[in-house]
Structure 1
Amino acid sequence: MTVTECSSAAARSRPASPAQQALVKLGLTRDIDLALHLPLRYEDETRITPLRNAREGDTVQIEATVTASEVQLRPRRQLVVTVEDGTGSCELRFFSFYPSHQKTMAVGARLRVRGEVKGGFWGRQMLHPAFRKAEGALPAALTPVYPTVAQLPQAYLRRAVASALTRVELPETLPPGLQPPLARFDSKNGLQRLWNLREALLFLHHPTPDVALATLQDHSHPAWQRLKAEELLAQQLSQLTAKRERARLRAPELRPQPGALALHEQLLGALPFGLTGAQRRVGEEIAHDLGRSVPMHRLLQGDVGSGKTVVAALAATVCMDAGWQCALMAPTEILAEQHFAKLIGWLEPLLAARGLQVAWLVGGQKKKVRAEMLERIASGQAALVVGTHAVIQEQVRFKNLALAVIDEQHRFGVAQRLALRQKLQHDGMEPHLLMMSATPIPRTLAMSYYADLDVSTIDELPPGRTPIVTKLIADSRKTEVVERIGAQVAAGRQVYWVCPLIEESEALDLSNATATHVELSEALQGVTVGLLHSRMPGAEKRAVMEEFKSGRMGVLVSTTVIEVGVDVPNASLMVIEHAERFGLSQLHQLRGRVGRGAAASACVLLYSTGDSGRLGETARERLKAMAETSDGFEIARRDLEIRGPGEFLGARQSGDALLRFADLATDQLLLEWARELAPVMLDRHPDLAQRHVARWLGGRSDYLKA
């Protein structure tokens, strides 16, 4: 029985309370879910501090008697209660209170009160402390404070967790002799012994007061280590299972048809540039996979500008040469259009000679155009389909799709990627899947989150890419930057100016794109300054981009809609306003929009220190990394250190559930252990492996198949 189930038919017929609904919202529907819902922090209610020993700034628990209680109306309505414990007195102030509070804190009542001690003109004070009647013995363990949501009070959540811990079954799932490299010292007999899961969970929910709090906060305590080891093992088991399941599936063997010159060779001959060694290498890896009857599940990663699109085009030719369809899906219309323009230029003449076409599919198309595209796709006349998430909508029917290419795959939601795989099944066969990312994946992350993927890396930039100079400039010098823009435009160059928001927000005092557009238009007389943001209609976006690409527009003010894919070789200066607000990989992506031609290029990171006069530590680390390196792999490594895997992975963390406790920066030893144990468990102890994954992931293991 789960915590949300009721014990009787009558109880089940009643609507769920707000607290029960909140539990479901948090995903706490099973006893094991509650058992694994660990505290954010702890409060020490195991001891009483005499008031005479309480120093200003300390958070303490006192036991005292109410000597006065009144509601004061000035300067604002508040309940003021005075308590004494025989060693001193303290004033408790509540600006929000109920009649029940006044009743509990009536004169003469004996209370236990916990809060931060503040000094004041009238002596010690506590503002809105926790309080209750002084009844019963003091707790023997620290009091947990859990992550929660509205409508779910801590008291209710504590009771639910405590109840679940008494019911939950936690049989050992680790095979004998294959435990993780963890142990603790047993003071009774001097032996090293491993914490079991129940012991670890009970301790983490209710640690004893003598524990070193630092070991709980940094997750180095043996109880935490046991949880992290089990979590990493569950993830590795799930991914290895998905990989083995995929190996049993069948996919079309994509080999050129005999007789005609292969599209692949024709494209290589038509390209206005030669491939780099890295492009040739990864192209061969992909072509080898496509020729097998096992579905390819490969991640193609490469730095900004490394030439992933042409590799994808070559993969598409292999597919189309074998008589099958290929789909390329991009996260934004602008990026999809960039791909479409390049692929049309490269492939349309070659396909036209064979009576085939390229189809374009996005959300905002006119009904007639869309109907025509859908017909081409269904008939197979469109050998290549390029578009946004519109490609996976229900009404799209492919004749014989064999290869799906997903660009910037981390920007699609997990559910979208799962829908794509399920949609593309054809005659009992799976499509080959090629995912591309311009955010290189650090090795530890690939070992963990992408253990079920084969990874191809383009680690070489095409010749002719101009090094980009990165400068950090405080926004107090914005006028100088605008003057530099004027000089660049006068020299025939073009400039991007990126803003983080579309409109003003009271919470974030940032310049918006519209205001910046007006400001730069006034400052740069005679220069065409354009505006681009995500809320503009698709046709308007395309018109603005066409103006910029043609060179008729000198400056483009934009939000991050131009983050990936936009390719204008004449643009030589990128200004990123409020750079401290952007993520590191996003800054690197934006910087990659310049340096694509022969002209010397620069990226200016305009930062604001706000009222404090200094940057926060995380922002400072990000900007420092940008100034020190332009290597996307080094940027990715630092980004992982700064943000952690959840944020770094973008949409794949909708399985964020997949790693709640482990830290890839510090738990590499545990990750290696989990990777080595996973195949052993699946081969020798399949029942234990299945129970282990079910305990930790429930239904979320599907996310790893995306």
Structure 2
Amino acid sequence: MTDAPREPSKSLPKPLSGPQKALRKLGLERAIDLALHLPLRYEDETRLQRLSEVRAGEVAQIEGVVTHCEVKISGHRQLLVTLDDGTDTCLLRFFTFYPSSQKALAVGQRIRARGEIKDGFNGLTMMHPAFHPAGGELAVALTPVYPTVAGLPQAYLRRAVQGGLSRAELSDTVPLNNLYEIWLQPTWNLREALLFLHNPTPDVALVTLQDHSHPAWQRLKAEELLAQQLSQLQAKRARARLRAPVLALGALHEGLLAALPFQLTPAQRRVSSEIAHDLARPVPMHRLLQGDVGSGKTVVAALAAAICIDAGWQCALMAPTEILATQHFAKLVSWLEPLGIKTAWLTGSQKARERREMLALIASGEAGLVIGTHAVIQDKVVFKNLALAIIDEQHRFGVAQRLALRSKLTAPTVHDEPVEGAAASTSSARTVEVEPHLLMMTATPIPRTLAMSYYADLDVSTIDELPPGRTPIITKVVNEARRDEVIARICAQLEAGRQIYWVCPLIEESEALDLSNATETHAQLSAALPGVMVGLLHSRMAVAEKKAVMSLFTAGQMGLLVSTTVIEVGVDVPNASLMVIEHAERFGLSQLHQLRGRVGRGAAASACVLLYSTGDAPRLSETARARLKAMAESNDGFEIARRDLEIRGPGEFLGARQSGAAMLRFADLALDGALLAWARRLAPLMLDQHPALAEKHVLRWLGGKAEFLKA
């Protein structure tokens, strides 16, 4: 009996080595990814310096003979090596070394060492210099030092980058005639720019490499910005080809306007009109509504929801915290329920029975409006005919969450011709799936350069005035040493019938950070203010406890609320007139502005006290000083946003949009406005006249990351 023929063995892919895994962790998978992985800095190994000519503080490469080598144990085990280059000697000191190091640095060996020169008690010294045997040719270019991760040595990374450079397809994708619009010397094509930046000649001025002002850097920054603009414009044009329900103004919108207990400001009327115009078109709205803290974005959202519901469709509003969602729910229900609108409520803390009831209302379409937290995007939530999604504080949601919401928002099909609502005739020969309208809201105003770059695919509406009756907030920066004075101010406010917030950065004591915490501060203030109800609010409390505390404070029964940043958004108590923020130097600028916006909501004069501490340091850091100074000088959220961009860059405004992979690695929006303007002008021309080049350009620079720009 013969054996059955064996199937040919299938070769399994070889497991990745440690450095290969590290490359993948850095996102360096394509040849072009490696080519675009540019150095953080450079080392000059193109020349040798004599010890008699070096100066303390400079980085130098020296060559000499080892005249002494010993391991010394005096407090710390260290390897001490004396190197003589014929003009002077230098002590090389190593606290981490191996037996192989001792062998390579044995007496009589001739080596090259590179490091920072220090003028020590025993003469010239280098701490942990890089070294290797002398001999061989000197480098002909500056040696690049790349961003890396654990398990990825510089030598391996340099070889990988050089390999990527040799394999990458680097033909120009920008038409040459368009380069002349901005370059004085359009001689640097992409290949030349990359080759130079990976291997710059020693005669280049290092400062032009460090500040990215060299023409090679300018070429890369311009191309990167162009890729971003092309991607955003592609997304905008793609949405313009999609269909959306046509939601026309109706009686419900007018009824809500008439029922409101206040008049809209001119800015609110203007942005409401912009949104209504978008909703009446058969293409999906993709609009960002920005307005300062307390500018009245919620009522604008309610008016948009009324238009949607009146047309026979559903609207969903998602907020990042339960406190903010609760605030929206209370306001919208008070405005819309008297007009006959049923509202469903979804949060993660709901009991199972209540959740089932809400899901049934949503699935049947009985609930015209759905308000909630992340629970709105859970798999079990099924809408009957969702046509408008509103995301509040959109930067607080991650990319994955925003994309999940968009993928969930699949409304029924509509006819190929524009329709007025969900109940149109089905006589059309062809129907198409629709994409619901999307309105994103933020109380963190977007600086102009960010709006032109990361939000270029959005239409932006701005509420640029506050409702009447809002009092200006006085902001004081106070040293922690004056804490007793602040408590005395609190007593005066309480006697006047006012309420106070006291915000702390931590919930409980931390060994890592010596910061005052909410629980300890609550105990101290309770003892200092006998007879006053002092509440405590933080994220680890049960939902029922949070609601009970907030109810007491909102009703005016609680005089002082000690809280963590859970009150950053969504808390509206007009009687609160004083905000104290402890360890204010630890907070971000936009977060400080949001917290300050919890007061000044009534007619009483309001104040915000920024308590700061320098700890063991003699003074605050420059960044902390700049933040506190900006807060003291301005109440304008747009000015605060501009300064925050200057101080910290765009990350604070973008939230998780970048998903850990910076969409702009090289360009600086604060410095490269001219390049950004050039990219904005060129993007539509390229898409219209050179679509293949445009597609190639986006793929080269963004690969699969372009979706994060569209989220």
TM range (shorter): over 0.9
CA distance in 2, matches of 1:102, 1:543: 68
Q: Paired residue for 1:424, among 387, 392, 409?
A: 409
Decide which of 342, 362, 370 is 2:347's aligned counterpart.
362
CA deviations 1:180-235 (Å, max 9, x no partner) are: 64546xxxxxxx44211111111111211221122112111101100010001101
For residues 533 and 135 of structure 1, what CA distance do their matches in structure 2 show?
Answer: 65
Look up the match of 1:643.
Answer: 648
Structure 1 residue 666 corresponds to structure 2 residue 671: yes
Letter in 2 for 1:403: L
User: For structure 2, which runs of at least 5 residues remain unmatched after alignment?
Assistant: 1-8, 413-432
Residues of 2 paired with 1:665 and 1:488: CA distance? Answer: 42
Q: CA deviation at 1:74?
A: 2.4
Taking a change above 3 Å as real, the CA distance of residues 577 and 11 of structure 1, as seen in their structure-2 partners, is farther
Partner of 1:681: 686
1:13 paired residue number: 13
Q: CA deviation at 1:507?
A: 4.0
Tell me if 1:295 matches 2:284: yes
Quote the residue 1:498 is aligned against.
503
Match of 1:78 in 2: 78
Given that 1:316 and 1:403 are in contact with CA atoms closer than 8 Å, whether structure 2 keeps it comes out as yes
Determine which of 374, 385, 397 is the counterpart of 1:400.
Answer: 385
Is residue 2:333 matched to residue 1:344? Answer: yes
Amino acid at match of 2:226: L
Aligned partner (choices 513, 524, 531) of residue 519 of structure 1: 524
Report the Cα distance in structure 2 between the residues aligned to 1:264 and 1:254, rounded to whole angstroms: 11
Displacement of 1:22: 1.3
AA aligned opposite 2:197: L
Amino acid corresponding to residue 402 of structure 1 in structure 2: A
Q: Secondary structure at the match of 1:28?
A: coil
Note if contact 1:180-1:670 (Cα within 8 Å) is conserved in structure 2: no
Deviation at 1:556, TM superposition (A): 1.1
Q: Report the more deviating stretch, 502-511 or 297-306.
A: 502-511
Whichever residue aligns with residue 76 of structure 2, its letter is: R
Counterpart for residue 439 of structure 1: 444
Deviation at 1:509, TM superposition (A): 2.3
Which of residues 449, 452, 455 is equivalent to 2:454?
449
Q: Which amino acid counterpart does residue 665 of structure 2 have in structure 1?
A: R
CA apart distance, 1:397: 0.4
Any idea what SS the aligned residue of 1:177 has? helix
- How far 1:95 sits from its partner (Å)? 1.5
Aligned to 2:296: 307
Q: Which amino acid counterpart does residue 367 of structure 1 have in structure 2?
A: A
Instruction: Give 1:653 shift.
Output: 2.9
Please list the CA deviations of residues 513-536 of structure 1 after superposition, one character each: whole Å capped at 9, or x if unmatched.
Answer: 222222212222222211112222
1:695 and 2:700 are equivalent in the alignment: yes
- Tell me, in whole angstroms, the C-alpha distance in 1 between the residues paired with 2:261 and 2:286: 30
User: Does 2:286 correspond to 1:281?
Assistant: no
Asked if the contact 1:181/1:670 (under 8 Å) is kept, the reply is: no
For 1:393 and 1:59, the matched residues in 2 are separated by 57
Query: What is the CA–CA distance in structure 2 between the aligned matches of 1:216 and 1:503, rounded to whole Å?
Result: 46
Residues 10-65 of structure 1, C-alpha deviations (whole Å, 9 max, x = no match): 99733212221111111111111111111111111111111122222222111111
For 1:531 and 1:66, the matched residues in 2 are separated by 67
TM superposition score normalised by structure 2: 0.94
Corresponding position of 1:489:
494
- CA shift at 1:498, angstroms? 1.1
1:597 to 2:602 alignment: yes
Q: Residues 10, 473 of structure 1: CA spacing in aligned structure 2 closer, same or farther, 3 A cutoff? A: farther
SS of the equivalent of 1:575 reads strand
User: CA RMSD of the aligned region, Å?
Assistant: 1.7
For residue 110 of structure 1, what is the aligned residue in structure 2? 110
Q: Is 1:547 paired with 2:552?
A: yes
CA contact (8 A) 1:182 1:222 kept: no
The alignment partner of 2:179 has SS state of coil
Native 8 Å contact 1:657 1:697 kept in 2: no
Question: What letter is aligned with 2:366?
Answer: Q
Q: Aligned runs of 1:176-575 on 2, under 5 Å? A: 176-179=176-179, 181-183=181-183, 192-255=185-248, 262-351=251-340, 356-427=341-412, 428-575=433-580
User: How far apart, in 2, do the equivalents of 1:450 and 1:482 lie?
Assistant: 44
Contact in 2 for aligned 1:34/1:161 (Cα 8 Å): yes
Shift of 1:609: 2.4
Q: How does 1:26-65 map onto structure 2 within 5 Å? A: 26-65=26-65
Match of 1:3 in 2: none
Does residue 140 of structure 2 align to residue 140 of structure 1? yes
Q: For residues 256 and 268 of structure 1, what CA distance do their matches in structure 2 show?
A: 12
**Number of residue equivalences:** 683
Q: Is the 8 A contact 2:182 2:678 kept in 1?
A: no
Q: Structure 1 residue aligned with 2:621, among 616, 621, 624?
A: 616
CA distance in 1, matches of 2:709, 2:91: 55
Question: Aligned equivalents of 2:140 and 2:189: distance in 1?
Answer: 22
CA–CA separation in structure 2 for the residues paired with 1:209 and 1:112? 19
Distance in 1, Cα, partners of 2:105 & 2:557: 74
Report deviation, 1:496: 0.7
- Answer with 553-562 or 234-243: which moved more: 553-562
Deviations 1:297-319 (A, max 9, x none): 11111111010000000100000
- Write the deviation string for residues 247-284 of structure 1: whole angstroms up to 9, x where unpaired: 00001111256xxxx11122112211111111111111
CA deviation string 1:545-603 (max 9, x = no partner):
11211112111111111111210111100011111111111111111100001111000
TM-score by length of 1: 0.94
User: Which residue does the alignment assign to 1:155?
Assistant: 155
Q: Match for 1:337: what amino acid?
A: T
Distance, in Å, in 2 between the alignment partners of 1:440 and 1:501 is 27
1:87 aligned onto 2:87: yes
Q: Name the aligned partner's letter for residue 220 of structure 1.
A: S
Q: What are structure 1's unaligned runs of at least 5 residues? A: 1-8, 185-191
Provide the secondary structure at the position in 2 that maps to 1:552.
coil
Contact 1:115/1:128 (8 A) holds in 2: yes
Match of 2:96 in 1: 96
- Aligned-partner Cα distance in 2 for 1:181–1:94: 54
The one-letter amino acid paired with 1:687 is A
Aligned partners of 2:220, 2:513: CA distance in 1, in Å? Answer: 38
Contact 1:296-1:434 within 8 A present in 2 as well = yes
The amino acid that maps onto 1:442 is P
Q: Could you say what secondary structure the match of 1:80 adopts?
A: strand
C-alpha spacing 1:655/1:430, structure 2 compared with 1 (3 Å): farther
Give the corresponding residue for 1:67.
Answer: 67
Alignment check: 8 A CA contact 1:329 1:406 kept: yes
Indicate if the aligned counterparts of 1:655 and 1:704 stay in contact, CA closer than 8 A: no
Instruction: Report if aligned partners of 2:51, 2:89 keep a CA contact under 8 Å in 1.
Output: yes
Q: Distance in 2 between matches of 1:13 and 1:289?
A: 51
Distance 1:387 1:702 in 2: 25
Which whole-Å CA distance do the structure 1 matches of 2:494 and 2:557 have between them? 11
Alignment-mate amino acid for residue 487 of structure 2: V
- CA distance in structure 2 between the partners assigned to 1:145 and 1:535 by the alignment: 44
In the aligned structure 2, how far is the partner of 1:180 from the partner of 1:510?
55
Q: Which moved more, 1:242-251 or 1:263-272?
A: 263-272
Distance 1:370 1:115 in 2: 65
Paired residue secondary structure (1:484) = helix
Q: Could you tell me which amino acid in structure 2 is paired with residue 669 of structure 1?
A: A
Asked if the contact 1:530–1:557 (Cα under 8 Å) also holds between the matched residues in 2, the reply is: yes
Going from structure 1 to structure 2, the CA distance change for 1:198 and 1:561 (only over 3 Å counts) comes to same
Is the CA contact 1:655–1:703 (under 8 Å) kept in the aligned structure 2?
Answer: no
Alpha carbons 1:304, 1:632 under 8 Å: kept:
yes
